[in-house]
Amino acid sequence: MEQTKPRILLLEDLKNWQDTISRLLALNDYDVVTASSLEVAGNLLQAKTFDVAIVDVRLNEGDDDNMDGITFLDEVEKYYPEDRMHVIMLSGHATTKHTINAFERQTKIVTKFFLKEEFDNDEFISEVGRAVRTTKGARDDRNRKTFRVDLTTTFYNLLDIPFLIQQLSHGDSNLESVKDFKSILRNLLLSLSPLTHNGKMIQNENNKLHLLLWSRKTSQAIGVTITLRSNKEPTGKFWQKFGQKEMITHSSTKLYTGVAVKLQDMKFQEFLSA
């Protein structure tokens, strides 16, 4: 299912604040996903695409040294290296203006600090809207400048393309084969970008490669089968063992042909352990 509303990640451990902000965002037509811990928020960053994150600096009110909200920024840098998601920070403590201003100057992803004791609904919603527009604008600009696929930053780094081609075509990894292989991946996966970092080769058999991916855009597992055009065209039958599937696209290039399917029953934790 395509994402329609801007998606917001709310990382807040206090239930009353989590409920209040969630309701406020929902009333303003945002899709809100909540997390109460750094671990849960990190898993969500892997599984979904977010436009903005709203993060409490301190996630354990009983621990004066807790700065999990700041640590979360490292997770954003990790999972959004190019698609820079903007972050709005919350603090319920006596964070000095000097510290806030210094922190804002040091990071490009934090757009605003809100002190809870000075929280204003209208100002907050206005800032969320601005952050969403900034994030989407930056993504759209990059999309216009590049052929938008996260293969370069995710998939290519995990799966050795020349190795896959050698496995698929009897050791042939010449320049034409490499270009053609990248082309079919691009054709099959463009509409599913961004992908998570956890791409993996499930099986190589009978000159067919079966690749398992996770699309953060659709929050679904994706099965990809690629083979030589000289072989029988793939149908996605291999992926039936993973549950209900839905054909997404079929593509062919000079050397290769392939299909991509949605694995509708696979949950994110099942994908990680596959």
**CATH number assigned to the domain comprising residue 136:** 3.40.50.2300
For residue 60, is it within any domain? yes
pLDDT at 210 over 60: yes
Cis ω before 81 (30° cut-off from 0): no
Residues 125 and 208 in one domain: no
For residue 223, is it within any domain? yes
**pLDDT mean over 215-224:** 85
Residues 127 and 200 in one domain: no
For residue 67, is it within any domain? yes
The residue among 99, 115, 145 that closes a domain is 145
Per-residue model confidence as pLDDT tens digits over 59-108:
776 666 667 777 888 888 777 766 667 889 888 765 555 455 545 544 66
For residue 1, is it within any domain? no
Question: DSSP label at 154?
Answer: I
Question: DSSP label at 169?
Answer: T
Q: What is the pLDDT of residue 34?
A: 96
Our count of domains for the chain comes to 2
Residues 104 and 132 in one domain: yes
Residues 67 and 29 in one domain: yes
Distance CA 223, CA 221 (A): 7
CA angle 29, 31, 34 (to 5 degrees): 130
**Helix locations, the chain, DSSP H:** 15-27, 38-47, 68-79, 97-106, 121-145, 156-158, 161-168, 175-189, 268-273
Q: What is the pLDDT of residue 207?
A: 80
Provide, rounded to the nearest whole percent, the portion of the chain with pLDDT above 90: 22
**pTM passes above 0.75:** no
**pLDDT mean over 201-220:** 82
pLDDT at 146 over 50: no
Residues 18 and 140 in one domain: yes
For residue 208, is it within any domain? yes
Q: What is the pLDDT of residue 127?
A: 93
Between 83 and 24, the higher pLDDT residue? 24
Q: Which domain holds residue 66?
A: 7-145
For residue 129, is it within any domain? yes
Helices 121-145 and 15-27: crossing angle in degrees, nearest 10, is 70
Contacts of 105 (CB under 8 A, 6+ apart): none
Distance CA 68, CA 65 (A): 9
Between 153 and 163, the higher pLDDT residue? 163
Residues 135 and 156 in one domain: no
Q: What is the pLDDT of residue 230?
A: 83
Residues 90 and 217 in one domain: no
The residue among 145, 168, 201 that closes a domain is 145
Residues 141 and 47 in one domain: yes
Between 155 and 12, the higher pLDDT residue? 12
Structure confidence at residue 36 as a pLDDT band (50, 70, 90)? very high
What value does the CA radius of gyration of the chain take, rounded to a whole number of Å? 21
**pLDDT mean over 216-222:** 83
Residues 139 and 200 in one domain: no
**pLDDT mean over 165-190:** 79
Residues 114 and 183 in one domain: no
The three-class DSSP label of residue 192 is: helix
Residues 19 and 131 in one domain: yes
For residue 267, is it within any domain? yes
The residue among 145, 172, 206 that closes a domain is 145
Distance CA 243, CA 221 (A): 11
Contact 35, 7 (CB under 8 A): no
Contact 192, 212 (CB under 8 A): no
Residues 248 and 122 in one domain: no
Buried b or exposed e, range 84-97, using 16+ CB within 10 angstroms: bbbbbbbbbeeeee
* Residue given tokens 């989590």 in the structure block: 18
| Tokens found for residue 241 | 């063992």
For residue 269, is it within any domain? yes
User: Taking the CB of residue 193, how many other CB atoms lie within 10 A of it?
Assistant: 19
**pLDDT mean over 157-176:** 71
